[in-house]
Structure formats: structure tokens, C-alpha cells
Amino acid sequence: MLFTRAGIKTQKNAPHDADSKNAELLVKGGFIKREMAGVYSYLPLGLKVLQKIKIIIREEMGNVDACEVLMPALTPLENWKKTGRDQVDIAYKPNEKTVLGWSHEEMVTPLAKEFLTSWKDLPLSLFQIQTKFRDEARAKSGILRGREFIMKDMYSFHQSQEGLDTYYERVKEAYFRVFQRCGLIAYSIEASGGEFSNDISHEFAVITNAGEDTMVFCKQCGWAQNTEISTQKGGKKCPHCAETLDEKKCVEVGNIFKLGKKYTEAFDVQVPNAEGTRETPVMGCYGIGVTRLMGTIVEAFHDENGICWPLPVAPYTVVIIPIGRKEEFETSLLEAKKLEKTLSEKGIDVLVDDRDESPGKKFGDADLLGFPIRVVISPKTLEKGEGEWKIRTEKESKNILLEKVGEEVLKIL
Amino acid sequence: MLFTRAGIKTQKNAPHDADSKNAELLVKGGFIKREMAGVYSYLPLGLKVLQKIKIIIREEMGNVDACEVLMPALTPLENWKKTGRDQVDIAYKPNEKTVLGWSHEEMVTPLAKEFLTSWKDLPLSLFQIQTKFRDEARAKSGILRGREFIMKDMYSFHQSQEGLDTYYERVKEAYFRVFQRCGLIAYSIEASGGEFSNDISHEFAVITNAGEDTMVFCKQCGWAQNTEISTQKGGKKCPHCAETLDEKKCVEVGNIFKLGKKYTEAFDVQVPNAEGTRETPVMGCYGIGVTRLMGTIVEAFHDENGICWPLPVAPYTVVIIPIGRKEEFETSLLEAKKLEKTLSEKGIDVLVDDRDESPGKKFGDADLLGFPIRVVISPKTLEKGEGEWKIRTEKESKNILLEKVGEEVLKIL
């Protein structure tokens, strides 16, 4: 893809109203545009990151046998009356009969009812990747806490508590894989269920300075608690493995809940068991803030020059920067396009910075936009059929034969 | 994919409230669920169809050099005041400062302003595939006219009217390709611009009985007009090629508009030209109702037994139905899974009906769900290493060596 056709426009200065590192860098880099407090547009580069995160999530939800659906944002108020959540103050109500979905238990439960005609239909797990609306009193921290945001929400239905317990652990593992594949180290923290449940729930937290919460955790065994409810603190010994505990700010990127029968009872979901007796399924729910995850990745991976995207979620894996004056630039650009073609054929996402801009501006933008690998092609490197290879997060660069670039990229992908 | 894991649940009877063929068949087949008037959930099979339509649209919009973005549904009322569209009665207003986007000129124009710092940034074309909200007085015809629906909307910006005119024709061609790839024959009809424009616009219409409009058209040269404004009618000679004209009901599946400077002036978009003089770009907009397109395909392709999906948008291309009693069923199922593996490796989308149901039920569901190719594996066909091959829209079936199935599918894909 050519830079001039990719719909990228970086800004010289950080936005004056950025309230966080992710807002600053994503707006400056032209990944997102702030439209209102807590409401953002996603521009071509930002959308590419989102798509890559979604692919990872879809694969991992498939791995726990969940089926994808898409429920509406317009939901009937009467459904929310059945569960007593019709007066929740974060709910937008576009008219007197309708609520904009801020969570979808009230929709998925009656939906599941249609699937569940026999105990053989259990367990059932449905997920969606969908836009949620929450009238947050204080939208803040860029795309970490928005009024409109993309969420992956999943809901599972089981014949027994044991079935739910087993599935809950499978989803927990899938969640760790999602965050790991996004480059993040997440800790699972036992938490209270809030609006959702009086039962067990877990949050998944990633260490970053932008965090609203603080957790005490053990790097050794993964034990973690929110400091608000923990009797432990940093410096003490881990209650599980006796390693010294750490304490850091963190962002919640996902949460999972055992919901019990609250919703299946409210919507009168009953499924005949093998003996023909009608039983009420138990339910779990599992959320990941997709746009929040994107913001968290930026909080976790940036330096003074810009974003440092982890390979699996980078909008482009490689940026090729041709430089030179006049005819020499044309030669560099030609070689850049040849290299792009070779790499694309290997399935590598490549951007060629074909702009008529100074090398300094191109290098600066490459750092700001955070492409993991940069290859500079200049008249000088071309003399030996080479380009200059640099990893975004490393200081040193090296020259490399252009014909070896593909091989080298695949080694670290 | 196994039927029992695909999240499919067909219903015995057509829904009592179905107001159209698409609603009847899509609900009965478990593609969609009606949640409120004009509001539907998309279930796994329905979502698969939508994804395939989206891929086609994305490819064709890429072919006209458009970049994908994602704008929010929550939009600031103040933007709509600038164009005088703040009082439009189809607009939902979740609070006194916000409108749920029912079209996005008021968002994309200020967004484009950020991209357009020099005349070299023109032309610019941005599209999104996004959920729209319209408080229609009468939501009807299943997913043909909804209050919440998915739309592809694209907006282009040009330095001159000539630039717009040229691009408009390119998009028209791209639209014909989209509809053709979805199996549909679309006619372009010159129309009035409605809310959007006093300038030129075209509708794309597909012939189906569910249509709200009637068009008079020429099969020979493609000339077409809405009967409401046409001086021609069926039986007369085509004004272009003198062929006899037809007259049929039709559904509008897309529309394109030349917007002129209405929005760029309202948002004060000015771009310095090569001489440094600031000029106001002219604008075009281009819509396709994505969910409506799915409904239209069903209206156009069904018979008394169910849907007949065109190959490129079928949720699964091939359904393999193993039959037999007890151990014989297990043998058929084993062969079905082997065949599924072979076909999947060739990139073919396959569903294996592994349900413990009668052959009659399985055949009925295969017809209802509309998979283009059906392969039945029974103890009898297996004696010769064969299966029974049937095309959904053909009456006759034939036996075929299982090892030849992949080849045969690729021939017609």
C-alpha cells in the first residue's frame, strides 16, 4: 500500500485536549479523531489495528466453541424492566420504549431461548463484536473509557454449575491468549460483579501508568488482587509462592462473570433435561473492550517518539522509506515498490512512504505511527542492492540485502 | 463446520408476523431474529452472509481508491444545525445534544477537512460499513426497511465538478460489479436527490415482487426510469434502442448523489489550489444498504422450499448430509468429515449436517437454508465411493465419486 493512498494524515502537534498518552499519540498519528467527549472516529490506520485485534478475538472465541451473532443497539425497554436494569443511569434512551444497548444480557437471553429446545442444545455460547453505548458521567483517557465503544461480549448457557465452572476456566485461558497475542501481559484479578452479578467474577488487568486501578501482583505465579480489596501490598511475600509482590497501576481490559440464573429466570428460560424435567440453565458472561484494548496497547507500547505496535496488531508490519533527490528518489521508489510486491506475496503487510517529503519527516512519522520494521532505501544502500533495516524498538540499524528482507521479516513474525 | 456447532436452529413454522418473503425465510431458517419493528438480530448463518457481502463491497470500494473509516453513531446535534438537517423526523436523539447518525455527511465533511490541507490531497474518498438508525414511521418488509440497519456509505471530495463527474461514473461501475457479484441484475435509474441533493442522483434497482417502486426498463440497453416520473411505460419502445420496454416492481439497493458544495460550504472546507487560492471542494455520496441487499437477494432467489443463495454470498457453499441407521450413519458421517476436510483445504466453505435427524428433515432444512450444493452420503452411495450431488436450483441429482467433489465445486465457483 502506498502512503499517499492509505488515508493517513499525521499532525504536527499533539491535540491540545488529549487527556492520555493513547489519545495524544492516536490522534497525532491520525489513527482516530475525537468527535465528542468519549466518542471517536476510527481512521484507516486505526481501523486496521481494530481489524487485527478482532481477528485474534474471533479465532480465540472460536476455540472455545462460541458462535458469532450480531444483536441490535436498539433494544426494547420492556426487556430491561424484566431484570430491573431499566433505570441504570448510563443507559441512553432514544425514545420512551427503547434503550441503546450498554450490555446485552437482556437481548441474548431471550435469543438463546430460541436455540434451547433440548438439553442437547446445551452448552451454548454466543458472542458478538458490537458497538456499545454508555452515558458515562466522565468519559476519559482517550479510547480507554468512551461513551461509544466496540466490545466483544460473549454469553454462555449451561445445564449445571459444574458445566459453567469448566467453561469459565476455558474462557479464562482463551482471554490470556487474546491478550498475549496482542503483546500484553495480563493478570486475572478476582473481583466483585458490579451491576452484573453477586457471584464470582474476574477482571483482566494490564500494567500501565494510565490505569485507574492499582493491583498488587506476583510476577512469579500470576497471583493478583486489586489493592482496594487486598490485604496484601507491594514488598510483602506472595501468599501463593512467597515471591516478593509488586504494586502497579493497571487498566482493566476484560472481565468475566458467573451470572447464575438471574437472567435465565427473568426470561423464563427452561430446558428439558434427559428425563424430561424442565431446568433453568446457568449463565456466564465474558467481555473484552476492543477499542479499549487498542488504547491499552498504546499505553503499554510507546516511547518519546511515538507508538511501538506489537507485530500482530500493527497496522502495517513493515514501512519502506525510499529517499533521494529527484531521479534518485524515483529509483529508490521503484525498488521500494518491487520490495513491497515481494513482501506482499509472502503475506506481509507493507506500507511504502511514497510521499514527496524530507527523510526527516518520513522517519519521524514512521516512529510516530509505530510500524515494527523500517527499511530505508537510498541511492547509497542501493549501490550494494541493500536497504537499511531497523526494528522500531531497537536503537541500532543494519544494512541488509533487499532480497533477504522477506526472510528476515518472516523470522520474527 | 458441523451443523451442531454452527449455531443454526431452524423453525418448523414461518413466523406469524412475517411481512415479506425475506422475513419469513430468514426467520424460519434462523438467519435473523426479529427484536422489534424494524430491528433484527443477525444469527450465525445470517452474519456469514453479511460478512461475504461486506468482503465484496470492501474489494470494490478499494478498486475505486476509497479508504475505509468508521465514524460514530453518536453525533453532535450542532453539526446537523449547520446544514439545517437537525429537525429531520427520522432522527433519533438519545439526548438534547446528540443525534444517532442516519447518514454521515455531517460527520465526514469535518473529518475530510483534516485530511485536506493541499490540493494534492484531492480527490479523497472515504467509506464506512456501519450501523445506521432511522426512526421510520413504518418499518416494513423484513430487513428491507429497518430502523437499525447496516449501510455502506461513501463520500468523495474533488477539486472540480469534472473530477466528481468522472469519479461518479467509476463508482457507478463499481456498484454494478457489487450487485452482479451478489448475483443480482441491477438497473440504474436517474432520480431526484431527496434530503441529500437538488443535483443529479441515481438509484440502483433490482427487480423483485417485494419492491415498493415500479420501474420501466429496457433489458437490451439497460435504460430505466421510475414509473412515477417516467413518460414511458411497459410495451412502448425504448427511447434509446427501440427495444420493447418492460415494467416491474423493484427494490432500491443503492443510491449515489452529486452533492455539489452544500456540505463543504456548510463546514467551511477550503483547499488551496496549485496557485494558492482557496477553493471549496465538490462532493459526492454513495450508499448501499448492506442488510437490505441481503434481504433483496432472498426476495430474488427463493422457491417454494426456501432460499437459493447465489454462490458468492451463500453462508456455506456445500452442505454434506450423511444418512443411514446407527453404525451406517457413523460410517457416512466419517466419510462426510473426510470430504469436509478435503474441500476446506481447497478453500471451500462446507457444512456437515451431523444432526441425529431424519433424512427428510435434513433435506428440508438444506433447501430452506439454501446452500447452493448438496452432497448426500448414504450406505448405498458409499458402496461405490460415491455421494449424491445436487444443485439447489436444479431438479435432477447425480451420483459422483467423492474424490471428484472438490474438482466439481471449483468448476462452478
Q: Which are the contacts of B335, defined by CB distance < 8 A and separation ≥ 6?
A: B322, B377, B382, B387, B402
Q: List pLDDT tens digits, range A155-179.
A: 999 999 999 999 999 999 999 999 9
Closest by CA to B99, choosing from A36, A103, A47, is A36
Q: Does A76 touch chain B (CB under 8 A)?
A: yes
Q: Does A263 touch chain B (CB under 8 A)?
A: no
- Phi and psi at residue A193, in whole multiples of 5°? -85, -5
The minimal CB distance from B147 to the residues A47, A74, A126 is found for A74
- State how far residue B147 is from chain A, nearest Cα, in angstroms: 9
Closest by CA to B73, choosing from B137, B145, B151, B157, is B151
pLDDT of residue A194: 54
Q: Does B13 touch chain A (CB under 8 A)?
A: no
What is the third-level CATH fold of B316-412?
Rossmann fold (3.40.50)
Which of A28, A40, A54, A69 best tests the B interface by mutation, with the highest count of B CBs <10 A? A69
The minimal CB distance from A73 to the residues B6, B47, B148 is found for B148
pLDDT of residue B228: 85
Handedness of CA B4, A255, A283, A153 (dihedral sign): negative
Q: Do B65 and A5 touch (CB under 8 A)?
A: yes
Residues 128-187, chain B, touching A (beta carbon < 8 A):
131, 133, 135, 147-148
Q: Does A396 touch chain B (CB under 8 A)?
A: no
pLDDT of residue B195: 54
User: Mean pLDDT throughout A274-297?
Assistant: 97
How many whole angstroms separate alpha carbon B134 and alpha carbon B130?
13
The minimal CB distance from B74 to the residues A36, A95, A114 is found for A36
Q: pLDDT class for B200, splitting at 50, 70, 90?
A: confident
Task: State the amino acid at position A83 in one-letter form.
Answer: T
CB contacts, 8 Å: B36 with chain A: 72, 74, 76, 98
Q: pLDDT class for B39, splitting at 50, 70, 90?
A: very high
The minimal CB distance from A72 to the residues B6, B40, B114 is found for B40
Pairing state between β B318-322 and B350-352: parallel
User: Mean pLDDT throughout B123-136?
Assistant: 97
Check pLDDT > 70 for residue A341: yes
- State how far residue B69 is from chain A, nearest Cα, in angstroms: 5
Q: pLDDT class for B13, splitting at 50, 70, 90?
A: confident
Q: Do A69 and B135 touch (CB under 8 A)?
A: no
CB contacts, 8 Å: B75 with chain A: 35-36
CB contacts, 8 Å: A106 with chain B: none
Q: List pLDDT tens digits, range A98-145.
A: 999 999 999 999 999 999 999 999 999 999 999 999 999 888 899 999
Check pLDDT > 60 for residue A381: yes
Strand residue runs (E) in B2-140: 32-36, 39-42, 67-68, 74-76, 98-100, 124-133
Check pLDDT > 80 for residue A192: no
Q: List pLDDT tens digits, range B342-396.
A: 999 999 999 999 999 999 999 999 999 999 999 999 999 999 999 999 999 999 9
Q: pLDDT class for B17, splitting at 50, 70, 90?
A: confident
Q: Does A95 touch chain B (CB under 8 A)?
A: yes
Please state, in angstroms and as integers, the Cα–Cα distance from residue A260 to each residue in A82, A115, A188, A285, B22, following that order.
16, 19, 20, 10, 37
How many whole angstroms separate alpha carbon A188 and alpha carbon A206?
9
> Structural domain boundaries of chain A?
3-303, 316-412
Determine what percent of chain B is predicted with pLDDT higher than 70.
98
What is the third-level CATH fold of B3-303?
BirA Bifunctional Protein; domain 2 (3.30.930)
For chain B, the maximum distance between any two Cα atoms, rounded to a whole number of angstroms, is 82
- State how far residue B109 is from chain A, nearest Cα, in angstroms: 12
DSSP helix/strand/coil, A73 = coil
The verdict on whether omega for the bond into residue A322 sits within 30 degrees of 0, i.e. cis, is: no
Q: Does B68 touch chain A (CB under 8 A)?
A: yes
Please state, in angstroms and as integers, the Cα–Cα distance from residue A384 to each residue in A381, A404, B93, following that order.
6, 13, 63
User: Mean pLDDT throughout A180-206?
Assistant: 82
Q: List pLDDT tens digits, range A256-278.
A: 999 999 999 999 999 999 999 99
- State how far residue A263 is from chain B, nearest Cα, in angstroms: 17
- State how far residue A324 is from chain B, nearest Cα, in angstroms: 21
CB contacts, 8 Å: A94 with chain B: 92-94, 100, 133, 135
Which of B4, B12, B27, B36 best tests the A interface by mutation, with the highest count of A CBs <10 A? B36
The minimal CB distance from B70 to the residues A5, A42, A75 is found for A42
Q: pTM to 2 decimals?
A: 0.96
pLDDT of residue A265: 98
- State how far residue A119 is from chain B, nearest Cα, in angstroms: 13
- State how far residue A68 is from chain B, nearest Cα, in angstroms: 5
Q: Does A351 touch chain B (CB under 8 A)?
A: no
CB contacts, 8 Å: B76 with chain A: 35-36
Please state, in angstroms and as integers, the Cα–Cα distance from residue B267 to each residue in A22, B74, B80, B351, following that order.
28, 19, 10, 51
B154: left (phi over 0), alpha (psi -120 to 50) or beta: beta
Q: Which are the contacts of B355, defined by CB distance < 8 A and separation ≥ 6?
A: B3, B4, B361, B362
Check pLDDT > 70 for residue B192: no
Q: Do A43 and B69 touch (CB under 8 A)?
A: yes
User: Mean pLDDT throughout A350-371?
Assistant: 97
The minimal CB distance from A76 to the residues B36, B47, B94 is found for B36
User: Mean pLDDT throughout B282-296?
Assistant: 98
pLDDT of residue B117: 93
Q: According to DSSP H, which parts of B236-358 are helical?
A: 262-266, 290-300, 327-345
Q: Does B316 touch chain A (CB under 8 A)?
A: no
The secondary element (H helix, E strand) that includes residue B24 is helix B21-28
CB pairs below 8 Å between A and B: how many? 126
Q: Do B107 and A39 touch (CB under 8 A)?
A: no
Q: Mean pLDDT of all residues in chain A? A: 95
End-to-end CA distance of chain B, in Å? Answer: 19
- Phi and psi at residue A258, in whole multiples of 5°? -95, 115
- State how far residue B188 is from chain A, nearest Cα, in angstroms: 29
